[in-house]
Amino acid sequence: MRIDEILYTQGFGTRRVCAGLVQQGYVTVGGAPVSEPAEEFETAGLRFTVQGTEWEYHERAYLMLHKPAGTECSQKPSTYPSIYTLLPSPLRQRPNKGAVQGVQAIGRLDQDTTGLLLLTDDGQFIHRMGSPRHHVPKVYEVSTKHRVDDGQVQRLLAGVVLDDDPRPVRAAACEIAGPHRLSLTLTEGKYHQVKRMLAAVGNRVEALHRSRIGMLALPEDLAPGQWRWLDLAQVEALRNARASQPAAGGDR
């Protein structure tokens, strides 16, 4: 593939801008400068630098982000900074056939919720991970205002009714992790679901953290605000993720 086309697919600007970056000597491959936009390279495993920024070619972008509190999962945030400001500009500018460019978050977390968030520019992957049919389990660590007890756990597992749906929604799994802590596994998605489910059993969420999606756990060494590429094995495991049994639940 031409080097200017490679830069374009990776989000370094329009085709004209990418050609200009090459012509002005801002691009190196294997430490050697590239000056001809039409020079071709094999993309598999290709690493290059653009104006000192090191980059590896990815045909599709699959990322994990440790979402910090006080951020919104929106391109046009209303009150808090957008999570997209935590990403380098190439990831925000990757060309896409749709109206919105760059990687997109798969589902949303509330501004005060922290933890694992997936982003990609693969529309089919977004649909696969967000579809209620696939029941991808998501694990949340919940800090509560009041003490948790077995009665609350059993009600969450049996199902509670929320005000927007007469059908009970239930946790796929729920364990007491401390006097004021629950580990809650949900599937599918409803607005503010964790908070509303806890309210339905007489408690209140004080803090909420998503620690796992499918078999993918948030790495302990990934600090709030940091992101990381997913490897092929992780992407494939997420594609195959499915709850052991269908259960109604939420992603917030």
List the one residue out of 252, 208, 214 whose CA is nearest residue 230. Answer: 214
> What sign for the dihedral angle of Cα 101, 67, 135, 231?
positive
d(CA 109, CA 191): 10
List the one residue out of 95, 93, 71 whose CA is nearest residue 83. Answer: 71
Active-site residue flag, 110: yes
Residue with tokens 């679901």: 193
Element (H, E) at 208: strand 205-213
Q: How far is CA 124 from CA 82, 106, 130, in A?
A: 24, 11, 10
Catalytic residue among 4, 110, 121, 122: 110
List the one residue out of 32, 27, 103 whose CA is nearest residue 2. Answer: 27
CB of 120 closer than 8 Å to CB of 63? yes
List the one residue out of 236, 202, 234 whose CA is nearest residue 217. Answer: 234
CB of 197 closer than 8 Å to CB of 185? no
Residue with tokens 């653009």: 50
List the one residue out of 233, 234, 245, 131 whose CA is nearest residue 185. Answer: 245
Residues known to be catalytic: 110
